[in-house]
Amino acid sequence: MLDYVPMPPDYIVEIDRLRFDYPRRTLLKDITLSIPRGKVVGIMGASGCGKSTLMRLIGGQLVPSGGHVKVDGHVVHELSRDDLYGLRRRMGMQFQQGGLFTDLSVFENIAFQMREHTSLPESMIRDMVLMKLAAVGLRGAAQLMPRELSGGMARRVGLARAIALDPMLIMYDEPFAGLDPISCTVIGNLIRRLNDALGATSIVVSYDAAESMRVIEYLYLISDGVIAASGPTEEMRVSKDPFVRQFLDGAHDGPVPFHYPRNSYRSDLGLESVAG
């Protein structure tokens, strides 16, 4: 089993020269970044830039093509199966659509991993589940089924499940996608408050700059497989960097092209060899 020697207080995640290839293209070319302990850090970029893939690499679901990911001092892809599962138990994950078990009640969804990974008595599990639900304002929804929840409620239940085992690291995959403005504010406040209350570290992966910038302390922007820009949130807000401005302002024109790399239009139409 992993020997969890106390690590230096600086960084919980360290990514060095990370590369990840799909069969037909390289998605992540050269990613180097560090996630400080106790902070809420944002990783943003356009859809398809590799944000969710990066989370799967942190969690050990994927193996990098080059470089490495360290979590709490351990190179993730070098861990044995048992050690990887042990590390994952110290991580929490909120999935984009909640990721709840559809045939289990809200209560049972959160109790599931407590029963799976601990030997706590049922009386204590009950108290802990209700405590986690109270933290996200949904103690009264304990017996509801996932189909009875709104989108915002499902995200909050997903958050309660993510913190069920008091993780050291919580990852959020597009926590604001598809939510109304009130639900976005609720989720944002919960991310910030729970991170501080648990003494955890949070990674918010999103393309929603407006909502994410309200809660994160440091921002990494990914483009074309590399870190295109990074810095404290307040510095990024006033940055003059063309890529930062295009992303944060949602501008159509800028360093990020609208079209996927392609041949010339005339070539695709077979007109290149046509005279005139």
**Is residue 3 domain-shared with residue 122, that is, in the same domain?**
no
The tens digit of pLDDT for each residue in 124-169 reads: 999 999 999 999 999 999 999 999 999 889 989 999 999 999 999 9
Task: Please determine, for residue 275, whether its predicted confidence score (pLDDT) is greater than 90.
Answer: no
Question: What's the pLDDT score for residue 58?
Answer: 96
Beta carbons of 52 and 97 less than 8 angstroms apart? no
Residue 12 in domain: yes
**Is residue 23 domain-shared with residue 81, that is, in the same domain?**
yes
What one-character-per-residue DSSP string does 149-167 give? S-HHHHHHHHHHHHTTT--
**Is residue 3 domain-shared with residue 45, that is, in the same domain?**
yes
**Is residue 79 domain-shared with residue 105, that is, in the same domain?**
no
Residue 122 in domain: yes
**Is residue 38 domain-shared with residue 159, that is, in the same domain?**
no
Q: Identify the domain containing residue 129 by its residue range.
A: 100-166
The CATH number covering residue 80 comes to: 3.40.50.300
**Is residue 81 domain-shared with residue 185, that is, in the same domain?**
yes
Residue 244 in domain: no
Domains in the chain: how many in total?
2
- Identify the DSSP state of 65: S
Residue 260 in domain: no
**Is residue 111 domain-shared with residue 148, that is, in the same domain?**
yes
**Is residue 178 domain-shared with residue 58, that is, in the same domain?**
yes
The tens digit of pLDDT for each residue in 188-230 reads: 999 999 999 889 999 999 888 888 999 999 999 998 899 999 9
The long-range contacts involving 260-268, CB below 8 angstroms and separated by at least 24 positions, are none
The C-alpha atoms of residue 23 and residue 139 are separated, in whole angstroms, by: 46
